[in-house]
Structure 1
Amino acid sequence: MTLARHLATIDLLRARPFPAEPGRSDVGPSGPGFHMAELSTSEDFWEDGSRWELVEEQYEAEREALALLLSERWGEAQVFSLASVFARSFDGGEEIPEPWGTLSNSVPDVHLWRVDGRWVLLGLSQWDTELPFQLLAVVTETDPP
């Protein structure tokens, strides 16, 4: 029941108040205006790079299945590219508010919903080709940049 566990984690994040200072909760980083959950994390690929595409497909399928369940609750998700956010930060030196700054470093796009005055996001992160994939959920009150 992985998807049920993911939904429960997202519901937990939606119910929590945001902390005054950045830190780490039981499921991932949190800070003023956001909570992030590392829903699942693959193995890294230092030893077996041949599995990379298979694991990527598996994590994309998991994200899509979870997005479908959330869309049944809140309507169709918007898919929001973070490429321009990353470029504004990296090339232009613009300071991007959290959690968007961190997400744009490793997540190419997110599925997002606006629910009860907060944004709920799903993204698939990978910092580098040898490093693990992570399925991330984020709840934030900060609008997309």
Structure 2
Amino acid sequence: MDVVARHLAAIDRLRARDLPAGGAGHHTVELETGHGLRSGDARTVDDLHALRRAIAQRLAARWGETPPWGQLTLRLRLARGESIPEPWATLCLRTDELDLWQTGDRWLAVGVADRDEGDEMQLLATVTRTAPS
């Protein structure tokens, strides 16, 4: 199974999981981890962004094309003290943009967490009932 198909299967399992009752509820999984320099099987940030785009193309074939959803506005709103619901508050601090789809009563977001230079880069997928704000 190729890496994109493996991650799509993980996303499908994530979407099938029950979300906590009462309240928004969300689940975030790490699909892939990268490091600043290629070493062994570790992926670079460019690799993770390319993988995110490949996954987004396949998901767009299922649910339609969507433009990447930039996070700058949410970060500015947080800086002004505005309350942003989870998982969006955390995702906007970790990612610069997300690929985003609404499927039924759930939202699916895929993005690369690479904003913290002191932390590992991660390809993330999140499922939630809370609409992005």
What's the TM-score, normalizing by structure 1? 0.79
Moved over 4 A (4+): none
Secondary structure of the structure 2 residue equivalent to 1:78: coil
Residue of structure 2 equivalent to 1:24 = none
Secondary structure of the structure 2 residue equivalent to 1:108: strand
Determine the C-alpha separation between the residues in 2 that align with 1:127 and 1:111: 16
The Cα offsets for residues 20-47 of structure 1, whole Å up to 9 and x where unpaired, read as 59xxxxxxxxx9421111100113x4xx
Determine the C-alpha separation between the residues in 1 that align with 2:109 and 2:83: 20
Residue of structure 2 equivalent to 1:113 = 101
Q: Does 1:75 align with 2:64?
A: yes
Question: What count of residue pairs does the alignment treat as equivalent?
Answer: 128
Residue in structure 2 matching 1:136, options 120, 124, 127:
124
CA RMSD of aligned residues (A): 2.1
Secondary structure of the structure 1 residue equivalent to 2:57: helix
Identity of aligned residues (%): 41
Residue of structure 2 equivalent to 1:33 = 25
Instruction: Give the deviation of 1:4 after TM superposition.
Output: 1.5
Contact 2:14 2:27 in 1 (8 A): yes
Determine the C-alpha separation between the residues in 2 that align with 1:33 and 1:77: 23
Unpaired segments ≥5 residues, structure 1: 22-30
Determine the C-alpha separation between the residues in 1 that align with 2:25 and 2:82: 19
Instruction: Give the deviation of 1:127 after TM superposition.
Output: 3.8
Match of 2:69, as an amino acid? Answer: F
Contact 1:63 1:123 in 2 (8 A): yes
Contact 2:94 2:115 in 1 (8 A): yes
Match of 2:55, as an amino acid? Answer: L
Residue of structure 2 equivalent to 1:60 = 49
Unpaired segments ≥5 residues, structure 2: none
